[in-house]
């Protein structure tokens, strides 16, 4: 049976899988039902299944022929702490949790590919299908790698995708080198001296000091980072005070930081610390910075990205494949798999009407029409990779 016909025949099952996962979302490292669901499907298809990697991660392995080459394909499986507002019949059954990023669709596509690969057996080597927990919160990819993912399941290359409502439906968007940013967070506490709002001269007002810090932080990207080095410093929260006649003891500022180059990342941290401390000192106060480095930048490898581009053009046509002019400022923990093994990460567009909700929006829902595209492409990519000599 031709691949297209096989995938089309499996479409009702793919939709059912996706909507079942959507109705039962689970947060990172707590995807127990999801993990068992995936493992059961893989076992029924004849895969060798390993569970409990990074607590709830699953790897399905399929071997065929005598080839020594191996490929890994990753799907993320976790949901988000968002109250769903889609109104669909298969909406989340868990208050405050939903699949608002399409990981339900990513998982269903890879399970669809799992079926096609097992039925066709049109490859020579080993396929590892990696179902990764906690992409959204706890860096499940890094946990899997640290627990010996690639020692247990050697991969010559690894690939992953993400749906993107801001790109045209069915468009493959990729790029060599950086494609997603490193993300860090700074929590700044300004230590003042509280008192009565009518007697400000007897206090050290952390709100005024904090406001000055917020404004000064805006100069870092504009005046300390080279214009050709993409970076972002965003003050996302400022917490202080409780009433108009009370000057509080402290103010708290939360800053999100995005970058690509390690040297720029270091400079951003250095300047944030320096500006915070110097601004506070100028107001006669003290400020502390709790700086946490999160996901590294996602860096695609040239050879694997070239292979991915060629496969996408064969699959969808040159008009459906674009090289991104610039990387996205979002982050992705697939970065840690790419640091250990060569590979590539890309986007698959899902925009049809232009009215689609963005990722992480309470009204977002994965476009089921992408399921056969993703499942078929993963199948062709794996078969092509393991046919190479």
Residue-wise over 168-190: b if at least 16 C-beta within 10 A, else e?
A: ebbbbbbbbebbbbbbbebebbb
Which residue among 78, 84, 356, 383 is the active-site one? 78
Geometric angle at alpha carbon 277, from 274 and 282, rounded to 5°: 120
- To the query of whether residue 205 is one of the catalytic residues in this protein, the response is no
Query: What sign has the CA pseudo-torsion 13, 315, 154, 163?
Result: negative
Q: Which residues pair with 174 in a beta bridge?
A: 323
What is the rounded CA–CA span in Å between residue 13 and residue 119? Answer: 15
Geometric angle at alpha carbon 185, from 180 and 190, rounded to 5°: 155
**Cβ proximity of 255 and 183 under 8 Å:** no
Query: Within a 10 A sphere around the Cβ of 265, how many other Cβ atoms?
Result: 21
Which residue among 135, 176, 184, 383 is the active-site one? 135
Concatenated DSSP letters of 48-110: EEEEEETTTEEEEEEEESS---EEEEEEE---BS-------TT--SSTT-B--SSHHHHHHHH
Distance set, CA 292 to CA 188, 298, 306, 374 (Å) = 11, 18, 34, 35
Which residue has tokens 């078929």?
A: 376
Phi, psi dihedral angles at 160 (to 5 degrees): -155, 160
Element at 286 (helix H, strand E): strand 286-293
- To the query of whether residue 185 is one of the catalytic residues in this protein, the response is no
Concatenated DSSP letters of 316-375: H-GGGEEE-SS-BSS--TTHHHHHHS-EEEEEEEEESSS-PPPTT-TT----GGGHHHHH
What is the rounded CA–CA span in Å between residue 389 and residue 380? Answer: 16
Single out the residue of 325, 345, 326 nearest to residue 335, CA to CA. 345
Concatenated DSSP letters of 207-218: HHHHHHHHHHHT
Geometric angle at alpha carbon 241, from 235 and 243, rounded to 5°: 135
**Cβ proximity of 178 and 328 under 8 Å:** no
Catalytic residues, which ones?
A: 78, 135
């Amino acid at each position: 049976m031709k691949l297209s016909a096989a995938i089309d025949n499996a479409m009702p099952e793919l939709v059912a899988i996706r909507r079942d996962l959507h109705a039962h979302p689970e947060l990172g490292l707590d995807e127990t039902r999801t993990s068992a669901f995936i493992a059961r499907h893989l076992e029924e298809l004849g895969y060798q299944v390993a569970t409990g990697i990074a607590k709830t991660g699953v790897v399905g392995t399929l071997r065929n022929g005598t080839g020594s080459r191996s490929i890994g394909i990753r799907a993320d499986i976790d949901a988000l702490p968002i109250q769903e507002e889609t109104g669909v019949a298969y909406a989340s059954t868990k208050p405050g949790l939903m699949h608002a990023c399409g990981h339900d669709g990513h998982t269903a596509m890879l399970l669809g590919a799992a079926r096609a690969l097992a039925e066709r057996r049109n490859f020579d080597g080993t396929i590892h299908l990696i179902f990764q927990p906690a992409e959204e919160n706890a860096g499940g990819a890094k946990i899997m790698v640290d627990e010996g993912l690639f020692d247990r399941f050697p991969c010559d290359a690894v690939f992953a995708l993400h749906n993107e409502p801001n790109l045209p439906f069915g468009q493959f968007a990729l790029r060599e080198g950086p494609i997603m940013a490193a993300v860090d967070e700074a929590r700044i506490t300004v230590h003042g001296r509280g008192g009565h709002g009518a007697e400000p001269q007897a206090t050290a007002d952390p709100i005024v000091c904090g406001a000055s810090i917020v404004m000064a932080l805006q100069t870092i990207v504009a005046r300390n980072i080279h214009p050709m080095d993409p970076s972002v410093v965003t003050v996302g929260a400022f917490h202080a005070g409780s009433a108009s006649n009370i000057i509080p003891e402290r103010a708290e500022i939360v800053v999100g930081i995005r970058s690509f180059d390690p040297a720029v990342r270091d400079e951003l941290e250095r300047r944030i610390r320096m500006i915070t401390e110097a601004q506070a000192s100028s107001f006669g106060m003290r400020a502390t910075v709790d700086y946490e480095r999160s996901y590294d930048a996602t860096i695609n490898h040239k050879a694997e990205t070239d292979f991915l581009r060629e496969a996408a053009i064969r699959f969808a046509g040159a008009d459906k494949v674009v090289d991104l002019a610039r990387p996205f400022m979002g982050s992705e923990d697939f970065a840690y798999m790419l640091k250990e093994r060569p590979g590539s990460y890309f986007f698959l567009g899902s925009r049809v009407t232009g009215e689609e909700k963005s990722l992480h929006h309470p009204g977002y829902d994965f476009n089921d029409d992408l399921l056969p595209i993703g499942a078929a492409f993963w199948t062709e990519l794996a078969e092509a990779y393991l046919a190479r000599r």
